[in-house]
């Protein structure tokens, strides 16, 4: 009893281990992988959010830089106007130009013209301005208390001559921009570099925070490509005034700032104040002078988890501004790592499902593998059939098709030898057109009555058993199995597909059907090739003589003339005509004349080289093309033909037609013409002259 119980326990243990160990292991592994996937996906999602934020930061910085550069391009328009103006720009011209620019660039608060005035020019400059209607004009400077006083004596002044829009900033007219160190520093840097230079943050009109951008204007027609010439030939500056609030709002207009806060800092070395402006996207407002409470709240919103992701540099008039783009809490809440939690939940669910159905999957594995193998084989056969069809359709002749067929069919039947047999024109003999494999097991030529497949009109399978019915064209010893498939297309039996193998059982039903399908494809392709060759011969052959017709003559002659031109050799043309051909027709009848034409065609084919072309030009006229033949050789060949045709004995209904003579005209290219029509006319004219001179002779084109 104890032994039975022990064996029962072992059986139960083996059953438990075999059935539950693998699912248990899969559950353990699935849970572990799900946890690992959770952390990996969470890290991946966080990196993805960083990449997304970095991309938005790059796009914002790029778009913002373009908007800033577009505003600064307005100064170039004023600069170009001054550069091309042959005289001093008037206030009216400046105001008109500035009005157009300000309407297109709303972020620019004002534009001004600041000329350079030396101490010696000051009195004259002020007198001219007063004469122009500004009675109280004088060059002024601002005291520490904020009041404007007459500027003391200096080496040079940079007073505001024109300010647009007019009337809004009339109090600034005459102000010496060189009297304040930050403005003067920007002017000097612009003068020395020739570029637009921005100032650091300034308190402008009504204590509005902003900055200025100065673009130097040099005297027309004088060089300013060195530091010395720039300083000597400076004419003045075009000044643009920007208020930080309007500048930031306008520059950020149209940009995607959803759930993003933006801060601007001046990182240029020596900047008096680093902070410039803060843009709060939720309220669409700009803070340039925040209170202590607002600054504390602002700083709490400017917390970036990765400074490299959030910070970008901007070039604002050669000053380095820092752009800090920080996601708001709303942005972070919308991008929580829910995908990681979903991955964890999905992993646990999938693990449970996988463990439950593991045994069922194991049961179906072998069945699926068999199905996949069959599908792979079927896919291979379909692709091979398609390749057979495409390759045969690409063949130009039957001979080319017979060289292609073995390579394609042998891949479908790697364990069999075989061949393609073609039925003769008489319909009673079958001859191997192409074969493949080591042991064909069939005669190469046999009668149609020797094959059961041809006699019955359907596929015939032979298996080397006592009940197998063998065809008479099989060779000894008989193979293990053979399969004969008649090839029929368009109602005509074209031949036979023969396959033989040395192993039993290889011709399954699927292989038999495949062989039948291959035979159908090959038969249809061969029928199309035969039809194509027939149509081609009908289009280029003369039906009576079998020689090429006039159309083929024209095509071939053009081709040979082009080849001769490239290879620098000549082409000979012989045009010949049967003398007194009408006499033959009148005496013996038109059928006798046709017989004479046929015999002459056979004579001409036997008298020319393989590279020569013999054509029936029309009626009793024939034309020969002799590539690479000089005039002397062409004349000799014509004489040989003239003498040789006299030995031609032509009979019609056992009645001799008499001796045949020819008149021949000879011409060569390029001696008598470089194109086909010219050289043919030359040979035809020579033929006509030979007839006029008494026939039975050779005449050379003049």
> Which of the residues are catalytic?
620
Residue 94 tokens, joined? 């400046």
Q: Where are the alpha helices (DSSP H) in 85-175?
A: 91-104, 122-131
Distance CA 55, CA 61 (A): 10
8 Å CB contact between 177 and 114: yes
Degrees, nearest 5: CA angle 304-309-310: 50
Distance CA 314, CA 265 (A): 10
Q: What are the phi and psi torsion angles at 220 (to 5°)? A: -70, 140
C-alpha distance from residue 265 to each of 230, 536, 665 (Å): 32, 84, 100
8 Å CB contact between 278 and 286: yes
8 Å CB contact between 666 and 559: no
8 Å CB contact between 422 and 430: yes
Degrees, nearest 5: CA angle 532-421-412: 90
Sequence-ordered list of residues with C-beta below 8 angstroms from that of 580, at least 6 positions apart, any chain: 661, 695
Torsion of Cα atoms, 250 then 251 then 255 then 261, to 10°: -100
8 Å CB contact between 75 and 196: yes
Hey, is 133 helix, strand or coil? coil
8 Å CB contact between 504 and 480: yes
Distance CA 277, CA 262 (A): 8
Hey, is 488 helix, strand or coil? strand
8 Å CB contact between 78 and 97: yes
How many H helices and E strands in the chain?
20, 28
Distance CA 331, CA 168 (A): 42
8 Å CB contact between 161 and 115: yes
β strands within 267-404, DSSP E? 275-280, 285-287, 311-316, 319-327
Degrees, nearest 5: CA angle 138-139-141: 125
Q: Which residue has the tokens 């010696």?
A: 120
Distance CA 662, CA 641 (A): 8
Q: Is the peptide bond before 408 cis (omega within 30 degrees of 0)?
A: no
DSSP β-bridge partners for residue 312: 323
* Residue 577, CA atoms < 13 Å, CB-side half-sphere: 22
Distance CA 137, CA 124 (A): 12
Cβ of 348: how many Cβ atoms within 10 Å?
A: 16
Sequence-ordered list of residues with C-beta below 8 angstroms from that of 268, at least 6 positions apart, any chain: 200, 319, 320, 321
């Amino acid at each position: 009893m104890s032994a039975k119980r022990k064996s029962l326990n072992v059986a139960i243990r083996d059953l438990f281990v075999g059935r539950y160990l693998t699912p248990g292991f899969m559950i353990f592994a699935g849970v572990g992988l799900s946890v690992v996937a959770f952390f990996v996906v969470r890290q991946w999602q966080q990196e993805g959010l960083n990449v997304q934020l970095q991309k938005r930061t790059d796009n914002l910085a790029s778009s913002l830089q373009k908007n800033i550069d577009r505003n600064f391009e307005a100064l170039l328009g004023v600069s170009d106007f001054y550069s091309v103006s042959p005289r001093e720009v008037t206030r009216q011209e400046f105001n008109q130009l500035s009005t157009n620019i300000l309407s297109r660039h709303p972020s620019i608060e004002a534009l001004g013209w600041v000329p350079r005035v030396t101490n010696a020019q000051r009195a004259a400059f002020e007198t001219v301005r007063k004469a122009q209607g500004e009675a109280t004009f004088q060059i002024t400077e601002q005291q520490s208390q904020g009041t404007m006083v007459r500027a003391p004596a200096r080496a040079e002044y940079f007073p505001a001559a024109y300010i647009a829009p007019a009337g809004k900033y009339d109090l600034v007219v005459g102000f010496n921009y060189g009297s304040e160190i930050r403005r003067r520093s920007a002017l000097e840097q612009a003068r020395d570099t020739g570029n637009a230079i921005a100032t650091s943050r300034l308190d402008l009109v009504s204590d509005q925070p902003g900055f200025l951008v100065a673009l130097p204007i040099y005297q027309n027609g004088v060089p300013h490509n060195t530091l010395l010439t720039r300083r000597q030939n400076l004419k003045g500056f075009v000044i643009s005034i920007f208020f930080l609030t309007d500048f930031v709002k306008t520059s950020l207009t149209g940009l995607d700032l959803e759930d993003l806060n933006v801060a601007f800092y001046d990182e240029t070395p020596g900047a008096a104040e680093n902070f410039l402006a803060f843009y709060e996207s939720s309220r669409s407002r700009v803070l340039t002078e925040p209170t202590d409470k607002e600054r504390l709240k602002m700083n709490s919103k400017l917390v970036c988890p990765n400074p490299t992701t959030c910070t970008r540099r901007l070039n604002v008039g050669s000053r380095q501004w820092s752009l800090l783009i920080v996601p708001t809490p709303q942005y972070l809440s919308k991008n929580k790592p829910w995908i990681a939690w979903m991955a964890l939940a999905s992993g646990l669910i999938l693990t449970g499902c996988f463990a439950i159905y593991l045994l069922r999957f194991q049961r179906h594995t072998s069945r699926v593998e068999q199905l996949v193998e069959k599908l792979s084989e079927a896919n291979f056969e379909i692709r091979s059939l398609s390749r057979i069809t495409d390759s045969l359709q690409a063949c130009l002749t039957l001979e080319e098709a017979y060289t292609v067929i073995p390579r394609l069919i042998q891949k479908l039947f790697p364990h069999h030898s075989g061949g393609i047999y073609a039925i003769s024109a008489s319909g009673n003999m079958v001859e191997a057109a192409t074969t493949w494999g080591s042991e064909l097991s069939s005669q190469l030529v046999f009668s149609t009555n020797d094959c059961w497949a041809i006699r019955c009109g359907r596929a015939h399978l032979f298996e080397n058993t006592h009940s197998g019915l063998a065809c008479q064209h099989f060779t000894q010893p008989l193979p293990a199995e053979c399969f004969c498939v008649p090839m029929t297309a368009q109602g005509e039996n074209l031949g036979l597909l023969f396959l033989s193998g040395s192993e039993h059982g290889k011709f399954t039903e699927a292989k038999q059907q495949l062989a039948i399908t291959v035979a159908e494809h090959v038969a249809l392709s061969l029928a199309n090739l035969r039809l194509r060759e027939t149509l081609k011969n009908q289009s280029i052959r003369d039906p009576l003589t079998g020689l090429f017709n006039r159309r083929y003559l024209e095509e071939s002659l053009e081709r040979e003339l082009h080849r001769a031109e490239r290879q620098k050799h000549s082409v000979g043309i012989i045009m010949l005509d049967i003398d007194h051909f009408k006499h033959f027709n009148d005496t013996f009848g038109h059928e006798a004349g046709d017989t004479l034409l046929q015999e002459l065609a056979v004579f001409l084919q036997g008298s020319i080289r393989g590279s020569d072309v013999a054509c029936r030009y029309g009626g009793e006229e024939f034309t020969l093309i002799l590539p690479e033949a000089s005039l002397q050789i062409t004349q000799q060949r014509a004489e040989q033909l003239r003498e040789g045709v006299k030995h031609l004995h032509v009979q019609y209904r056992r009645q001799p037609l008499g001796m045949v003579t020819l008149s021949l005209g000879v011409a060569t290219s390029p001696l008598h013409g470089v194109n086909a029509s010219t050289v043919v006319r030359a040979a035809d004219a020579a033929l006509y002259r030979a007839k006029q001179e008494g026939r039975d002779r050779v005449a050379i084109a003049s």
